[in-house]
Structure 1
Amino acid sequence: MRLALLTGLLAAGAAIAAPTSPPEWSAPTDPFRVADNLYYVGTAGISAWLITTPKGHIVIDGAMPTSAPLIQSSIRRLGFQPKDVKILLNTHAHFDHTGGLADLKRDTGARLLANPADRKALETGTYPGWEENRGLDFAPVKVDGDLKDGQPVRLGDAVLTPRFTPGHSPGCTTWTFQVKDKGQPLNALLYCSTSVAANRLVSRERGPQYPGIVGDYRRSFALLKTFRADVFLAPHAEQFGLPEKRARLKAGGANPFVDPGELARRVAASEADFNRELARQEARAK
């Protein structure tokens, strides 16, 4: 994930300004259909997802603090109306995935459901453990209902199951649901993230980002290894090869988003990165 600049500034104790974010995180891009009733409505670098049903629609993630108008424009371009969005969901409460939720909620009237472990971050608009870095803030948004691990969220014919995979944030939530591609039912998984990014795993000066973070990461890796997914989705474009896949999708042929082996490959790579970063932070703390 392209958070090296943010991480370095945080480690130096600097206040972060929004322009330090990679430009593609806020850049517009064309929306498109991934499969059946699943659509991409995010920015060039940050994902947001639209799931449509006859009873209304679901949006997962709000991307950057400036992204709500872009997301709503993308929904309209696909032939749907933002006012028909009934439920807002989130993968995790960081500014680059939550920033647009307050505006989306205001404009659509949708209810926001969230992992209770991320409720405080959502309702204060802060990054837990870096509250003093105002550049990581986003507009606070009221949570209307708490999710329960494994208890599905239902709207129309859509059934989305939240699985709690904390570490990247205390309330990191991975979503599983079914889609169809050319009539074939497929299991989709929207991964929350297991990158370390700006998180302190070990720190003599400040302590970890939040108590128990290392154990949370390890339990989340173990849980993710038990999942099977035909379609792997992620919050950042580079985490699931979005540019390459959308180009292949446009060219026709087999749907490039269908790859039953991708989840295992991505989780294994992320766990290896985590172990290296944990070792680095432990050595620095000695």
Structure 2
Amino acid sequence: MPRKLYWVVPALTICVLFARPVRAQEGQQQGAAAKPDSPEVLAHIDKAKKIAGTYWATAEHFLCEAPRANPATDPGPVKLFDNLWAVPGQYSVGNAVTYVLPTSAGIMLIDSGHAKDVESVLLPGLKTLGLDPGNIKVVIAAHGHEDHYGGSAYLQEHYGAHIYMAAADWDFIKLPRPPAPGGNAAPPAPLPKRDMVAFEGVPITLGDESVTPVFIPGHTPGSLGLIFPVKDGGKMHVVGMVGGGFIAQGAASQVSEFIDSLEHFELWTKMMKVDVEIQNHPVFDGFADKLTALRARKPGEPHPFVVGEANYTKFLDLMTECARATMYRQKE
């Protein structure tokens, strides 16, 4: 079994939402010339391209070269597997998808979305799926950014839902955030009351469903990778989610920590035979195309979200190579 890791990180350095591991930085958007990538950076990008092939080419381009993605059109609530549904909303790099696991003892959510979207997106979405929000019993926050835990205070107050987060991110969400440019920041979302603590390798169980958390710090101090079984007719599959967002931005040491986390998570995914890839920010993994294929799927056809164990490993490997490219950019 993969060794359990206990992480202590300088949380005040990890307040950035997502990385920009990209040749064209913000300065270039304003007309400044981008610094050319070094041979070492290019070598990691080339390795990522070879790992990605055509299957993960979009992911490689986004993570290694050009992390730009406009908010997607809300595809509406959707059933992905017999026991996994999604309320995507207008998902983007700043808006997380909420995943829904109906169980024999109530509803388990992975991420709750922004606080501002609970009554306009999440609750109507659950009702569209025929689910009663009053049955929400558990919310797992994949990491401590507001688009992942923001709605949890409402769900805690109105429905008595238990909120799970890694201990490090229970502390992290209490830290003051940098002021927004221009000084016109919206008031901070209400924080949930400190509740349940997620521990690596200890399944979070509700009724007949369980989700196994794995510590993957880097994006935030308490980011979680999540692994859980899903059903497609009579077939069982295993989902893996890198719940720690995108490649960490900051000091090279922070990106190095993110790389260690990806390698650690990969050990768990191999051990648990993960063959389904989903993300809580699915802007780079073909989510929209997979939804289209799922809606058009005929009996007996392959499930578009089942990528296979080998392809899932390639997905993590290319993320790791892109993170290495980012780390060397940070050092230059």
TM-score (norm 2): 0.70
Shift of 1:2: 7.9
Fraction of identical pairs, as percent: 24
Give the match for residue 302 of structure 2.
Answer: 254
Give the match for residue 209 of structure 1.
Answer: none
SS in 2 for 1:71: helix
Give the match for residue 323 of structure 2.
Answer: 274
Out of 63, 69, 81, the residue aligned to residue 35 of structure 1 is 81
For residues 148-185 of structure 1, give each alpha carbon's deviation from its aligned partner in whole angstroms, at most 9, with x where no partner exists. 11011111100111111111111010111111111111
Q: Report the AA paired with residue 243 of structure 1.
A: A
Q: Pairwise mapping of residues 30-69 of structure 1 onto structure 2 (< 5 A)?
A: 30-45=76-91, 46-69=96-119
Give the match for residue 30 of structure 2.
Answer: none
Q: Pairwise mapping of residues 139-158 of structure 1 onto structure 2 (< 5 A)?
A: 139-158=190-209
SS in 1 for 2:293: helix
- For structure 1, the 5+ residue unaligned runs are 10-20, 203-211
CA RMSD between the two structures:
2.8
Q: In the comparison of the two structures, how many residue pairs are matched?
A: 257
Out of 50, 71, 76, the residue aligned to residue 24 of structure 1 is 71
Q: Report the AA paired with residue 241 of structure 1.
A: G
Q: Does 1:181 align with 2:222?
A: no
Q: Report the AA paired with residue 110 of structure 1.
A: A
Indicate conservation of the 8 Å contact 1:125/1:137, yes or no: no
Out of 119, 141, 147, the residue aligned to residue 90 of structure 1 is 141
Change (3 A) 1:150 1:256: same
CA distance in 1, matches of 2:141, 2:284: 17
Change (3 A) 1:231 1:256: same
Indicate conservation of the 8 Å contact 2:19/2:246, yes or no: no
User: Which shifted more, 60-69 or 246-255?
Assistant: 60-69
- For structure 2, the 5+ residue unaligned runs are 1-16, 28-67
Out of 264, 272, 276, the residue aligned to residue 313 of structure 2 is 264
Greater relative CO (CA pairs within 8 A, separation 6+): 2
CA distance in 1, matches of 2:187, 2:278: 24
Indicate conservation of the 8 Å contact 1:194/1:270, yes or no: no
Indicate conservation of the 8 Å contact 1:166/1:220, yes or no: yes
Change (3 A) 1:254 1:22: closer
SS in 2 for 1:29: coil
Change (3 A) 1:53 1:98: same
CA distance in 1, matches of 2:164, 2:244: 19
Give the match for residue 40 of structure 2.
Answer: none
SS in 2 for 1:143: coil
Larger Rg computed on CA atoms: 2
CA distance in 1, matches of 2:245, 2:251: 12
Change (3 A) 1:62 1:221: same
Shift of 1:266: 2.1
Give the match for residue 222 of structure 1.
Answer: 263
Give the match for residue 213 of structure 2.
Answer: 162
Give the match for residue 205 of structure 1.
Answer: none
User: Which shifted more, 231-240 or 98-107?
Assistant: 98-107
Q: Report the AA paired with residue 140 of structure 1.
A: L
CA distance in 2, matches of 1:99, 1:153: 20
CA distance in 2, matches of 1:141, 1:131: 20
Q: Pairwise mapping of residues 116-127 of structure 1 onto structure 2 (< 5 A)?
A: 116-122=167-173, 124=174
Change (3 A) 1:125 1:68: farther
Indicate conservation of the 8 Å contact 1:42/1:63, yes or no: no
Change (3 A) 1:66 1:29: farther
Indicate conservation of the 8 Å contact 1:188/1:230, yes or no: yes
User: Which shifted more, 168-177 or 230-239?
Assistant: 230-239
Shift of 1:224: 2.5
